[in-house]
Amino acid sequence: MRRLFGSIIVLLALSLLVSACGSKLRGWDIIQLGPRIAGVTAPTAANHAGENFTFAVQVTGPAVVAWAWDFDGGATPSTATTATPTVVLVNPSTTDDATYNGSVTVTDADGRSDTFDFTFVVGRTLNQSPVFVGLPASIDGNFSFSIDDPDGDPVTITLALTSGAGVTIDPMSINATAPYGTYNINVSNNGVEDAAITIGITLNDGVNPDVVDDVSGTIAGIALPVNSIVIVPSAATVNAGDTFMVTVYGGNLDFALGYLNSVDFTFGANVAPDSSSFNVGAAGGAMDFKDGFWADVPDALFPPATALFFLTPGHVQANISLLGSPPTGAPAGTSGALFNVMFTANTAGVCNLDFVPAGTNYFDPSGATHDFTNLVNATVTVN
């Protein structure tokens, strides 16, 4: 009896155990998780303020349907709701990096979400280059332009004639400071012929590479008075040791003259003419080179021309005919370069170039003598 009862107890215990195991084997309870953020792509100090940057978030789990970004003021805009927002980085400092605390929250279709906090670094605000404002497309004389510099830096503006000749620019250098204004440039053609030129303009803020642009155009030449002679230096200002050209023009003659008698001008003691450079007519060519419609008076009529070119002290003189020997001459109203000569600037000072009216006249084909009507003066400053 006692053994039977014990057996019953054992059977009941085994039955309970099997029953318990049987319920465990019916299946597992599964817990569904929402999206999980593994990391964020964020700026480093190599990404400077003012640059565009695209943030990105790495997510595992269910598909995300909503994003909420907060950049703590380190970007514009400072919040975003797209998966990979592109923003403009912000850091007011021009000397130091800035660290910001950011966060992003992602949410799936069932409303489950995950939030990830991160820090990011924005490099300093880089200095920006100056820019031209309102630079004209072309010029035919004086012109104006403006500049701007986002950082308010002092800007040195330099102007230079990069193509063409015979033109002076004033001023050639400007020290511009904020607030920047409009800068007026005077352009003068020192020659009789119209000049096709290009003026290069350089902006330098002392920080960034130079900003360069240019303007081009045609500048009208000097209008010559009737029966005149004009002395035109190739530059109004030169440095000691430089060379420059002086051209003597005759203009708007009343008569079809055949011969100019003793065209003469004087020059200052701080410059010296190059006796090997004398050229009749338009600029260029070797000594005594005949170009344009002007020519030397034939040696048969006068002593060798070279003996008359350079008189001392401080005179340049020439006897010149037009298109050959007198009485053949250029038509009335003709204007052009009579002759030119190169000078060397020796010492600092102002060199005066003066036309000498006494004895400087011209013969018409009848042999009558006529005086030039103008008294002219030009100066060259030697630095």
Task: List the CATH number of the domain containing 306.
Answer: 2.60.40.680
DSSP 112: -
Q: Do 376 and 333 have their domain in common?
A: yes
Residue 363 CA to residue 365 CA, distance in Å, equals 7
The verdict on 149 and 286 lying in the same domain is no
- Report if residue 62 sits inside a domain: yes
Same domain for 331 and 370, yes or no, is yes
Q: Which of 125, 148, 177 is the last residue of a domain?
A: 125
| 155 and 240 share one domain | no
The low-confidence residues of the chain, meaning pLDDT below 70, are 1-32, 284-290, 292-312, 322-329, 359, 375
Supply the range of the domain harboring residue 95. Answer: 36-125
343 domain-assigned: yes
Domain presence at residue 270: yes
| Last residue of one domain, picked from the residues 91, 125, 159 | 125
Same domain, 242 and 374: yes
- Assigned domain for 2 exists: no
Indicate the helix (H) or strand (E) that contains 382.
strand 377-382
Q: Which of 90, 125, 160 is the last residue of a domain?
A: 125
Q: What is the CATH number of the domain that holds 143?
A: 2.60.40.2040
The C-alpha atoms of residue 247 and residue 228 are separated, in whole angstroms, by 14
pLDDT digits (tens, 9 = 90+) for 164-223: 887 889 999 999 999 999 999 999 887 777 899 999 999 999 999 999 999 999 999 877
How many domains are there within the chain? 3
**DSSP-assigned beta bridge partners for residue 184:** 144
Which tens digits make up the pLDDT trace of 253-287? 777 777 777 778 899 999 998 877 888 777 766 66
Same domain, 139 and 187: yes
173 is a domain residue: yes
Same domain for 374 and 246? yes
Residue 8 lies in a domain: no
Is 288 among the domain residues? yes
What local confidence, expressed as pLDDT, does residue 328 receive? 58
Has this prediction a pTM greater than 0.75? no
Q: Same domain for 256 and 198?
A: no
**Considering only CA atoms, which of 145, 117, 105 is closest in space to residue 42?**
117
Tell me what pLDDT residue 229 has. 84
- Same domain for 271 and 363, yes or no, is yes
Are residues 73 and 172 both part of a single domain?
Answer: no
Burial class (CB in 10 A: 0-12, 13-18, 19+), 62: middle
Query: What pLDDT score does 280 carry?
Result: 78
Question: For residue 215, what are the CA distances in angstroms to 41, 145, 170, 172, 359?
Answer: 46, 11, 15, 14, 45
DSSP 353-382: EEE--TT-EEE-TT--EEE-----EEEEEE
Residue 56's φ and ψ, nearest 5 degrees, are -145, 150
In a domain, 21, yes or no: no
